[in-house]
A and B are shown apart, each in its own frame.
Chain A
Amino acid sequence: MTNHYKQVGHSIPKIGITERLTGAPVFSADINLRNPLILRVLRSRRHHARIRSIDTTAARTIDGVVAIFTAKDIPGKNAHGIINKDQPLLMGDKVRSLSDPVALVAAKTDTAARKALDRIKVDYDDLPAVFTPEDAMAPDAPAIHDKGNILFTRKIKRGDPETAFKACAVVVEKTYRTTRIEHAFLEPDAGAGYVDDDGTLVIFASTQNPHYDHQAVVSILGLEKDRVRIIQTATGGGFGSKLDLNVQGFIGLALYHLKQPVRMIYSREESFLATAKRHPLTMTLKTGADKQGRLIATRATIICDTGAYASYGIPVASRSAVHATGPYEIEHVDIESHCVYTNNPFSGAMRGFGTPQMAIAHESQMDLIAAQLDIDPLEIRKINALSVGSVTSTGQKLTASVGIGECLDRLGPYYEQARNEWLKEGDIPYRKKGIGIGGMWYGIGNTGTKNPSTAKIKLTPDGRLTLYTGAADIGQGSSTVLAQIAAEVLGITAESLHLVVADTQRTTSAGATSASRQTYISGNAVHIAATACASALIAEAAALLDLPASALVLSDGNVIEAAGSTRRVDFARLASRLLEKKKPLEWHGVFDPDTTALDPETGQGVPYATYAYAAQLVLLSVDTLTGEVFVEKVFAAHDVGKAIHPENVIGQICGGVVMGLGFALMEEYTPEETDSLKDYHVPTCADLPDIVPIIVEAPEPTGPFGAKGVGEPALIPTAPAVINALAHALGKRIYQLPASLEKVLAVSIETGHYGPKEA
């Protein structure tokens, strides 16, 4: 297929790559400030307790300690949280989990700050604590928050599943559990700040959402909006965790009182202890199908443990409910998803918002049903795959860009080859081979709520163009993609476009870098702004050249006649003409996807304007004597609508697959036991399988150049495909993640694969 675009669809060098290759000081911990004070936080280390008193007298006498702040020093509202403001910056009356912050120390050195932490005396009255959602929902459970322990319930009801189950040829009901996962981005949370000449608090932060940070800090400090400026620095990965307010509020509080430069860097242990985790989910699914394998009805009960604070708990509960069917059409559904407070570390956003957990359940169900009906696992997915015209569980009719069928088709030849050849090759003693498929769908953007993005294009009098976007690039490459979209429309190269990114004083909000939304939503905002700029330039050139606007195009910083004559006018000339006419040289774009709120009782509505789809095929073998799993190959087919930057898409797929392997096989966060990279294991290059990324492009008519998103979808199918492949290899399924060495070995023993074989 030829690419007639000059920017879009080309894998140009990533914006910001040179700084990263040369070690330029672009991360928060690197920012040069004059003698910054070091900030450290005292954390409760109690699960649930009332604070009787905090005594900082002794700590204040330590040499080098400049100030110690507690809840009473917070001038504004001592509360933050993206949706529910239930998380105090510093705890005033009680603590609800181990990592709750109670005091903030500012000191001249880190040593002094750490000493001060040891000398602060906090008197607590311990309260009964609960660690499972089931206990937290019991009628006599201790109340973690005043409003009770059930944070939220999402219901989706459609048709009549109970009657429908009776007519099904097969009904499978199982419970699946996933565990707490740490994001383990490589850059521990960090930030820095100073007070500007005019009194503005300038805060640099490693963040996924500078405009939310801004709102939160303004509210905590009770300041006017223009007194706080958040600048996103280079961010060393986020995966959802850097959507919460981590260091930003502490830096703001210290700047407010001390008016001198400060820096705050979490140690790796603190980053483990104090930041969000992936929600552990318990999912009970009852799924029924007819004789031909067509899914008829499903009932799902989902329980999400959000820990001590809500963070992104509501979106996780909501999204897991909406995605509970998987990428399949099911007429009768009854889904309830509950999000529950416990005294565990708080759970928040992590790559997929509940969808990766949900996919374990719906994909296992598919294989179980297929086995009972003796239908091939790939075939049963094809039979049920959503397509244009399908109606989802929320009653949304899909009108375009439904690529799940094509993703499954593209896996077909590899699947056949694996079954007919790979499976039979090289019989290694005590090794069992397995093949597994995982499918997924993923709604782009926030669930049934407004989530607009904005962008601006500015032209200088000498004809240069600048893109202003609030979108935080956390390594996935949004700046590059947004620049490509703008440059394509404006007829210039992405490299020649100047960028101003994620600075709350200079850019307007693009919303969070989450929900795989920046390419589709911010991409559209950028596209709209760039199109407005291009139209203005063309109109001006048309008047000047005395040609119809329809005969003109933008190319290399000029407006030229499309037919290829030599008639042209450059942007500088057009800029000065526009200036003479007193026209503003900037153009704005706003885009908010077309969604509707979900009905609170039935969940019916349009939660997302578009969906990404994917299917992955995993080939693995199991050492039946040790439980070790060797993932050999992963074929990953992803419908992204349009790959604006194919190598970025491939990069997301490969990174997602490997993160998915960690989720499937090894990762499990246990507070106070796995608070370091020594004890919490993430995949290394030794775990790297042969990954074959397959890009599918089912264009989305409302997307910029047809694009949707890929950041989270990349990870979602991997773990279910691994779990299915393990079940295929061993003949018995694992229902609780991770499928660790111990669990796999236990299954190997139970199924009689362990031990010497009879001759």
Chain B
Amino acid sequence: MRIHFNLNGKAIAVDAPVGTSALSLLRDYLGLKGTKEGCGIGECGACAIEVDGKAVNACLMFAAQLDGRTVLTVEGLETPSGLHPIQEAFRDHHAVQCGYCTPGLLMSTHALLAEKPHPDHDDINTAISGHLCRCTGYKNIVSAIEAAGKNPGGKN
């Protein structure tokens, strides 16, 4: 089965067997290891990617469902001038400990800010309610997202 889609700004075509998950397509067929598997059943958010501007769990999607769509993964966040402002906010607010939950959270934050550039506390809670982080206790993650929302252009 051949799937065509836009991945991190580039049109690509890739072959994968029917039944392949979007997560496996990214990791195993395209070699993009930034998207993580934490549970495989939609309970942890480690595999979140952005599809047509919405954050989704890649473990619950078939690769075939990506056909014709626009997909953003953590590998596509960085800009030519360096880290994306969201990544900077996560760094500056010490929102990363082990970092296994981080790529998924960055993608949900990206989708949130695209929809609501200045989210309030409830918006943030809703956006990350499907994500588990066992290290940070969420506090710094929420602060990082708040900061990214206040300052979408990043530093200065």
Contacts and interface: CB of A to CB of B under 8 A. Distances in A.
Interface of A: 11, 13-14, 16-25, 27, 29-30, 32, 183-188, 234-237, 239, 267-268, 474-477, 647-648, 650-651, 653-659, 676-678, 682, 684-686, 688, 691
B137 interface: yes
Interface residues of B, number: 50
Contacts of A267: 40
B128 A685 contact: yes
6 contacts: A22-B78, A186-B133, A188-B37, A234-B98, A654-B137, A655-B134
B39 A677 contact: yes
When A and B form their complex, which 7 residue pairs have the shortest distance between CB atoms, in order from nearest? Answer: A23-B34, A475-B98, A20-B99, A236-B100, A654-B137, A658-B137, A30-B33
A235 B99 CA distance: 9
Given A22-B83, A475-B98, A685-B131, A655 B74 contact: no
Given A20-B102, A186-B98, A677 B43 contact: yes
B137 A655 contact: yes
B136 to A, nearest CB: 5
Contact of A27 (B39, B74, B100): B100
Contacts of B138: 654, 658, 684-685, 688
Given A23-B34, A27-B36, A30-B33, A186 B139 contact: no
B137 A186 contact: no
Contacts of A188: 37-38
B134 A186 contact: yes
Contacts of B38: 186-188, 268, 677
A21 B96 contact: yes
A651 B73 CA distance: 26
Given A23-B33, A237-B135, A186 B94 contact: no
A678 B41 contact: yes
Contact of B94 (A11, A32, A676, A684): A11
A20 B36 contact: no
Contact of A237 (B43, B91, B100): B100
A11 B140 CA distance: 14
A653 B32 CA distance: 33
B120 interface: no
B32 A186 contact: no
B3 interface: no
Contacts of A653: 137
Contact of B132 (A25, A650, A682): A682
B77 A186 contact: no
B7 interface: no
Residue with the greatest number of chain B CB neighbours at <10 A, chosen from A186, A647, A655: A186
B65 interface: no
Contact of A684 (B75, B99, B129): B129
A655 B136 contact: yes
A699 to B, nearest CB: 24
Contacts of B90: 21
A475 B135 contact: yes
Given A677-B132, A684-B129, A686-B129, A17 B91 contact: yes
B98 A236 contact: yes
Contacts of A183: 134
Interface in B4-54: 27, 31-41, 43-44, 46
Contacts of B98: 20, 185-187, 234-237, 474-475
A20 B96 contact: yes
Contact of A678 (B27, B43, B96, B101): B43
Interface string B93-134: 010111111110010000000000000000001001101111
Nearest to A656: B137
Contacts of B31: 32
Contact of A24 (B34, B36, B37, B41): B34
A23 B35 contact: yes
B36 A187 contact: yes
A685 B129 CA distance: 6
A684 B136 CA distance: 11
Contacts of B78: 22
A237 B125 contact: no
A661 to B, nearest CB: 9
B60 interface: no
B30 to A, nearest CB: 12
Given A18-B83, A658-B137, A685-B138, A647 B100 contact: no
Given A23-B74, A688-B142, A186 B41 contact: no
B137 A14 contact: no
Contact of A688 (B43, B103, B139): B139
Contact of A187 (B34, B40, B100, B140): B100
A678 B43 CA distance: 6
A677 B131 CA distance: 11
A234 B33 contact: no
Contacts of B129: 684-686
Given A22-B34, A23-B33, A651 B75 contact: no
Given A18-B83, A234-B99, A267-B40, 17 more contacts: A14-B91, A18-B91, A20-B102, A21-B99, A21-B106, A185-B100, A187-B36, A236-B100, A475-B97, A650-B140, A655-B136, A676-B39, A676-B43, A684-B131, A686-B129, A688-B138, A691-B137
B40 to A, nearest CB: 6
Contacts of A650: 94, 140
Nearest to B24: A110
Nearest to A655: B137
B148 to A, nearest CB: 12
Contacts of A239: 134
Contacts of B97: 237, 475-477, 651, 655
Interface string B62-99: 00000000000111011000010001001110101111
B102 A651 contact: no
B41 A654 contact: no
A297 B128 CA distance: 49
Nearest to A688: B138
B55 interface: no
Contacts of A688: 137-139, 142
Residue with the greatest number of chain A CB neighbours at <10 A, chosen from B31, B37, B43, B94: B94
Given A475-B97, A475-B99, A13 B91 contact: yes
B141 interface: yes
Given A21-B91, A23-B32, A651 B136 contact: yes
B129 to A, nearest CB: 6
A654 B33 contact: no
A654 B136 contact: yes
Contacts of B35: 23
Residue with the greatest number of chain A CB neighbours at <10 A, chosen from B37, B92, B103: B37
Residue with the greatest number of chain A CB neighbours at <10 A, chosen from B36, B100, B102, B132: B100
Contacts of A678: 39, 41, 43
